[in-house]
């Protein structure tokens, strides 16, 4: 994985950020980018070895980072994680809801265990992490919530009924939270990428299709989304440039739905 070290304008200096699902893929890339932009980063995830390694590397590069090992679907975990995260650096300015689970099965093949695993993390845990974070986010009136969604909330495909519907619910929460907390200074928005070529979650669908023949020609950008495309949007939504964006979706699909 590429660990970029390019110079930045340090858009997030001093911002205290909590990123869920940050041990690899999109979450890790956002954590590294926020640290480069001057933020204090708290990473969460289930895999302690990977999370500690990411935090160590961020600190070695001069950034500020702490890792909290957590299964956000466990009883009480969302509240405990937020309390530990706010204690680490003394507050919270930006919450990135990235942790997610994926399953690919046609609806008649889906088990209750499949359903519960995806919904518990993608929807329920996200809901209660945000609920726990809100008192801290509301305290400063210049805070941000960045939700990581999917193109699948808009343009679905066979086998993704649970994942896509969970992310569609997240988009509805984005609009609801914007109405509930925007007047008090909390910006809530969603990034909805298409298939992210270099994200671990994309490995299975990429292996199941001839992307170059059947997918790339349908995308005006003539390429798949990358983690750095998502990172650029995540940095923007965490910074002052997005202050007038409330309850919206940034659709990173390369023009697929145009």
Catalytic residues: 163
CA-nearest of 232, 221, 223 to 255 is 221
Measure the CA–CA gap between 33 and 211, rounded to whole angstroms: 28
* Dist CA 11 CA 237 (whole Å): 11
H helix and E strand count, the chain: 9, 7
Q: Give the 3-state secondary structure of residue 121.
A: helix
CA distance 243 to 241: 6
Residue 132 near residue 18, CB atoms below 8 Å: no
Let me know: does 208 contact 163? Beta carbons within 8 Å. no
Nearest to 63 by CA among 98, 95, 35: 35
Strand ranges in the chain using DSSP code E only, listed in sequence order: 16-19, 40-45, 64-69, 94-97, 143-148, 186-193, 249-252
Q: Dihedral through CA 190, CA 211, CA 105, CA 46, nearest 10? A: -50
């Amino acid at each position: 994985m590429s660990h970029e070290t390019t110079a930045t304008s340090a858009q997030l200096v001093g911002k205290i950020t909590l990123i869920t699902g940050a041990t690899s893929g999109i979450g890790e890339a956002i954590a590294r980018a926020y640290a480069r932009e001057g933020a204090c980063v708290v990473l969460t995830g289930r895999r302690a070895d990977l999370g500690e390694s990411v935090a160590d590397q961020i600190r070695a590069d001069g950034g500020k980072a702490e890792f909290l090992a957590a299964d956000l679907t466990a009883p009480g975990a969302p509240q405990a994680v937020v309390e530990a995260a706010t204690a680490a650096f003394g507050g919270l300015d930006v919450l990135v809801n990235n942790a997610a689970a994926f399953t690919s099965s046609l609806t008649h093949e889906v088990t209750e265990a499949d359903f519960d695993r995806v919904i518990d993390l993608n929807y329920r845990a996200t809901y209660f992490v945000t609920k726990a974070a809100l008192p801290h986010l509301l305290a400063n009136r210049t805070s941000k919530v960045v939700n990581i969604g999917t193109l699948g909330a808009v343009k679905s495909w066979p086998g993704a009924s649970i994942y896509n519907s969970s992310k569609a619910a997240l988009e509805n929460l984005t609009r609801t939270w914007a109405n509930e907390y925007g007047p008090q200074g909390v910006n809530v928005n969603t990034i909805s990428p298409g298939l992210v070529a270099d994200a671990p979650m994309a490995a299975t669908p990429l292996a199941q299709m001839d992307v170059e023949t059947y997918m790339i020609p349908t995308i005006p950008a003539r390429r798949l989304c990358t983690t750095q495309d998502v990172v650029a949007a995540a940095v923007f939504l965490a910074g002052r440039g997005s202050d007038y964006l409330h309850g919206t979706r940034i659709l990173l699909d390369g023009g697929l739905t145009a």
